[in-house]
């Protein structure tokens, strides 16, 4: 048994990692993400390997954040999985201990999203539960929809998205920087049919529409949020933001309550911002 990490270019281990992800998470696969060049150094799997097979994993996502105009160095824990045949052997604990050892005092904070079954696990490593706050408001739009659904079928679409992510500040209180790959993973895996382009402000909106409610996951670009919302037309009566706007004036605020999901944090950044009211962009959850 060995602990292997950062092995993305090792085809054998990568294939085994994908096999485990598919087995545990119902078909999840990182191969297209890798082959399209989006698996960068920001995503580091820590894996227990037995006889060349990945049997347990905890991944590190380097998630540097722009928080109120300053860069904060964070890591997010994700892709926590163990083959059912190898559970109960303490492998996840070993990997968490190794990650904490590697990153202790080297980052401003560590965070993760966990389900109900492991709420007693992460406090053993110095994590505490924290809260996020979501913003929403009623809207009245008098114009027709101009937001164009983008199928993200062409390489030019992906290239343009990456360029905007890498070069443009976002109109959010907190957003991830220098990690276009994690955005691309979400877009390619889960939100491919939820990407819209607003031409007049050269911005993308990652959004879902449920009846008359717009759920806005992210605005990729510098377009003003109200301008982006208006681009979805007069059928929209309410908007829910899955990120925190720079200016929350006029929005209703509520504690995020998501079934079977809990935010755990540790580190100086989270101690210093304990009373702040924000949420990480939903589209960057690992």
Mean pLDDT by 10 residues, the chain (286 residues): 96 98 94 92 97 98 93 96 96 97 96 94 96 97 96 84 88 91 82 88 93 95 92 98 95 94 96 96 86
Residues 256, 14: Cα–Cα separation, whole Å = 35
285 falls within a domain: no
Residues 232, 78: Cα–Cα separation, whole Å = 33
Residues 234, 50: Cα–Cα separation, whole Å = 57
CATH number, domain of 205, equals 3.40.630
Neighbours of 83 (CB within 10 A): 18
Give the pLDDT score at 97: 97
Instruction: State the residue range of the domain holding 210.
Output: 135-254
Domain co-membership, 242 together with 144: yes
233 falls within a domain: yes
Domain co-membership, 270 together with 242: no
Half-sphere exposure (Cβ direction) of 191: Cα atoms closer than 13 Å? 23
Report the SS3 class of residue 38. Answer: coil
Domain co-membership, 126 together with 140: no
Report the SS3 class of residue 219. Answer: strand
Domain co-membership, 122 together with 145: no
Domain co-membership, 204 together with 223: yes
Number of domains comprising the chain: 2
Per-residue pLDDT tens digits for 225-263 = 999 999 999 999 999 999 999 999 999 999 999 899 999
β-pairing, 133-138 with 174-176? unpaired
Q: Output the pTM of the full model.
A: 0.92
């Amino acid at each position: 048994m060995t602990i292997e990490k950062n092995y993305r270019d090792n085809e054998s281990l990568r294939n085994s990692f994908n096999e485990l992800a598919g087995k545990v998470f119902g078909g999840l696969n990182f191969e297209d993400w890798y082959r399209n060049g989006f698996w960068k150094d920001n995503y580091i799997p820590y894996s227990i390997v037995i006889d060349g097979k990945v049997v347990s994993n905890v991944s590190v996502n380097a998630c540097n954040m722009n928080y109120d105009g300053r860069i904060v160095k964070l890591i997010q824990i994700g892709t926590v999985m163990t083959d059912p045949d190898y559970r109960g052997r303490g492998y996840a604990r070993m990997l968490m201990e190794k990650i904490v050892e590697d990153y202790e005092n080297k980052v401003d904070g560590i965070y993760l999203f966990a389900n109900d079954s492991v709420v007693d696990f992460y406090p053993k490593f110095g994590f505490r539960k924290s809260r996020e706050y979501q913003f929403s408001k009623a809207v009245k739009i008098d114009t027709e929809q101009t937001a164009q659904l983008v199928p993200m079928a062409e390489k030019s679409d992906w290239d343009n998205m990456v360029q905007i992510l890498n070069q443009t500040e976002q109109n959010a209180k907190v957003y991830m920087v220098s990690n276009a790959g994690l955005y691309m993973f979400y877009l390619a895996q889960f939100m491919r049919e939820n990407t819209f382009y607003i031409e007049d402000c050269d911005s993308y909106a990652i959004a879902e529409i449920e009846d008359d409610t717009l759920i806005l996951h992210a605005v990729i670009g510098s377009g003003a949020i109200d301008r982006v919302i208006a681009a979805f037309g007069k059928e929209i009566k309410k908007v829910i933001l899955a990120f925190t706007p720079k200016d929350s004036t006029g929005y209703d605020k509520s504690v995020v309550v998501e079934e079977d999901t809990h935010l755990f944090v540790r580190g100086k950044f989270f101690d210093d911002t304990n009373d702040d009211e924000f949420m990480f962009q939903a589209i960057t959850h690992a």
